Structures are given as C-alpha cells and as structure tokens.
Structure 1
C-alpha cells in the first residue's frame, strides 16, 4: 500500500483531523503522521517557541488536547527536520498540515504539498469573483492569512475563531459577521472539523470550504 506523509506544526497523531484526510484517501494509502513539536512539553514550547514581536504567528494542537501559539521562524527548522526524516523513510508524497506560509521548505525528490500554495488559486477559481470570507484561528493572524490571497486578485474578509479553544458562541459570532457580507467562507486552518463547517454554514447561510477536506481530496489523487 502507498503511504502519504502528513506533518502537523503541532504534535502527532492528529486524532481530530486525520480522519478527514483518511476519508479522502478511501483506503488507498496509509497515513503516516509526524509533528514539528513531537516530544516537547507545553512549558518548553511556551518558553522557547512562542512568537516574539514581529514574528509570524501560528497555532496548533498538542496530543494532550492543549493548544499553543508558536512562531513560524522558531519552528521552521523543526518542521524541515521532520520533512527530511520522512523523505528518508521512503515516503514520496508529504502533506503539510498547515495553511500558513513557510518560505524555503523543501524536499530532494518527494512531492511536498503546501496548502498555502494550493488553497488561494483553487478558492479563486471556485468563487468566480464572488465575495469570500476567511475564518482563521487568531485575530493576530488576520493580515498574514489575507495576504496570501492578494496575488490572486482577492481581498477576503476575516473573522477569528479558533478550532482549538473557541466556544460555539464565539464561532457563531465569527460566522455571523459574514451574514450577507460573503458568498463563500473558507475555514483557513487545517485544524477545523466538520463540526466547524456545519456551524459556519448555519450561522452565515453560505457554502463553507473546509480546508483539510479540500486538500485531502486533491492529495488523494496523488496516491
């Protein structure tokens, strides 16, 4: 059986979202998981990997269920190490489980699927010039998440609700901001689940794209 590597910027296994990707694979490939923060404690992550002023902010989930806010600049070497190790294990297709932008990640010959390269042009084509709204985890991610859509002629709206820590009421408030203000919503984080998609669709009244489901379906064609 073929193998698909999946690397989270948090800790593996991602029992919350792995089933969404596995559903897309339809049993054609085994999902092999790794995480940039594997083996690190919550206290260590907070002390050494939290964002400093001006750094690119990310958030992810630990195997304990806790969420952490981390710096791209500080975790990228750990992430590259996991990618390299996975390729050395013979895995030929590797999915990055994050929609953030990571300049310079690379493999020697394996396919590295980075959702930030895939999501904006696909959403551009799907939306057909209609109004797009983004829901992302943190308010401080607003500018960076919107920025990756700008080269595609898009200026999406933004609302914050974390897949890891926000209540249903907070999610209702975020999705409700797009009521009559967007024609399509994108859940712009690989940590959202079908529950979040259903909530957003209910409170905004428009179609909602679950990023990990969309990317999973596309990547499934490569295995």
Structure 2
C-alpha cells in the first residue's frame, strides 16, 4: 500500500504549473504527493479578460495560463473558482490544500488544513525584518499600491519594485538591480510565480538576501505533514 499523503496545490491560474512544481516538489517531504488544480482550468484568455477583469478597487492578481501566457484578473472574482477547487480536492482525498498565490483571500470553506501563502510570508518577513524596511517585488506596477497597503497592515514598511515572473528573468534582474545600495533588510519576491533561479539572480543583482514564497510554503507544509 502506498504511504503517500496527497496534498493539493491550487493555482489561481491554470494547471499544470510546470514552472512552479519544479521548485516545489524537491522541497516537499518524500511522503507528500502534490496534486494540481487550476482555478482557471477550462477558460480561455478571452473568457478571463471578459468575465474576470479587475474593477476599480478590486485586488489585481497575476498568474499563468497552461501555455505560459500571463493572465491578469480580479482577486475578488476568482474566489468562487478557488472554492470550487478546494471542494474538489477534498473530494479527491487530499489531506491539505495550498493556494498557490500570495494574494489576499477571504476565509474559504474547508475540512482539511488550508494554507494561504500571504499570512505565512508576511509573518515570517516581519519577524526577520526586526522593524527595518524590506524590499518587495510584485509582478505588475498596478499592484504596487495594494502591496504597500497589505504589508503596512502586517506592520511592515516596504520599498516596492515590479517585474513579472511570467515575462522572463531579465526583467527580474533589472528590477533587483535598482535596489542595490538601498537600506532594505532583504528582498521578498511577492508572487508564487517567482522561481528559485529568479531568487538567486535577484540576490546577485540586488546584493540583498531574498525570501521566496514557493519554497517557504513547501517547507512549512512539509514540517506539518512530512
């Protein structure tokens, strides 16, 4: 009999997230099997642009389509789709659910541990910063103000830059380079789309230590269930 414990990874984009699992799976305990679900599975980019576009005041989320294209959409409007995937994962026997997005979500219905990266990332960063300002990289300039508000609510002062993980490593490197010489405690890559390779490149270009949410979350879940 298999000793593997199934856990769900729900992307707010489309599954499979081959760009993410290459970094996630090596960080997971050997007994954990990651099963992927996508909130936007079955939708086209045209569907998303028509039905899920952010309205003024709504949180802007960025994720990846199955073919690698970037999708930008409303965090508020995707909540019901994420909830449907949580329900599906539980029916499939998953023992825990990770929402693979650092955005802000309301409380969702669940019967197994439900892990949101944002509170983990914010609490860890606040503890590590020790009252100092940190640098934060978000995918799009339109997310900068909401990032300041979210981090401020968590008690952290931030210096914001933007570069999309879905548009290649060069932009990440260029944005990180602008932080060199800034008096920031470290850099936080505030999107689950940022990769280990991008973390390492950002560290080189900025001269700062870097906190990466995808590996942080995988380590925490492994500690709990591994």
With normalisation by structure 1, the TM-score equals: 0.94
Does the 8 Å CA contact 1:106/1:112 hold for their aligned counterparts?
no
Alignment partner of 2:78: what SS?
helix
Structure 2: 5+ residue stretches without partners: none
User: After the TM superposition, which residues 22-61 of structure 1 pair with which residues of structure 2 at under 5 Å, given as runs?
Assistant: 22-61=25-64
User: After the TM superposition, which residues 36-115 of structure 1 pair with which residues of structure 2 at under 5 Å, given as runs?
Assistant: 36-107=39-110, 109-115=111-117
C-alpha RMSD of matched pairs (Å): 1.4
> In 2, Cα distance between the equivalents of 1:178 and 1:77?
37
Deviation at 1:145, TM superposition (A): 2.0
With normalisation by structure 2, the TM-score equals: 0.93
Alignment partner of 1:30: what SS?
strand
Alignment partner of 2:172: what SS?
helix
Match of 2:7 in 1: 4
Does the 8 Å CA contact 2:169/2:198 hold for their aligned counterparts?
no
Alignment partner of 1:17: what SS?
helix
Does the 8 Å CA contact 1:100/1:145 hold for their aligned counterparts?
no
Deviation at 1:217, TM superposition (A): 0.7
Does the 8 Å CA contact 1:120/1:148 hold for their aligned counterparts?
no
Does the 8 Å CA contact 1:175/1:200 hold for their aligned counterparts?
yes
Q: Give CA-to-partner distance per residue, 1:115-171, whole Å, 9 cap, x none.
A: 112111111112223331000101111122232222332111100000002560x32
> In 1, Cα distance between the equivalents of 2:140 and 2:153?
22
Match of 2:152 in 1: 150
How many residues align structurally?
Answer: 221
Q: Give CA-to-partner distance per residue, 1:170-205, whole Å, 9 cap, x none.
A: 323311222121220000000000121122111110
Does the 8 Å CA contact 2:132/2:157 hold for their aligned counterparts?
no
> In 1, Cα distance between the equivalents of 2:155 and 2:66?
38
User: After the TM superposition, which residues 72-221 of structure 1 pair with which residues of structure 2 at under 5 Å, given as runs?
Assistant: 72-107=75-110, 109-166=111-168, 168=170, 170-181=171-182, 182-221=184-223
Structure 1: 5+ residue stretches without partners: none
> In 2, Cα distance between the equivalents of 1:93 and 1:219?
9
Alignment partner of 1:189: what SS?
coil
> In 2, Cα distance between the equivalents of 1:49 and 1:124?
32
> In 1, Cα distance between the equivalents of 2:39 and 2:12?
5
Match of 2:23 in 1: 20
Does the 8 Å CA contact 2:192/2:213 hold for their aligned counterparts?
yes
> In 2, Cα distance between the equivalents of 1:82 and 1:167?
30
> In 2, Cα distance between the equivalents of 1:28 and 1:115?
21
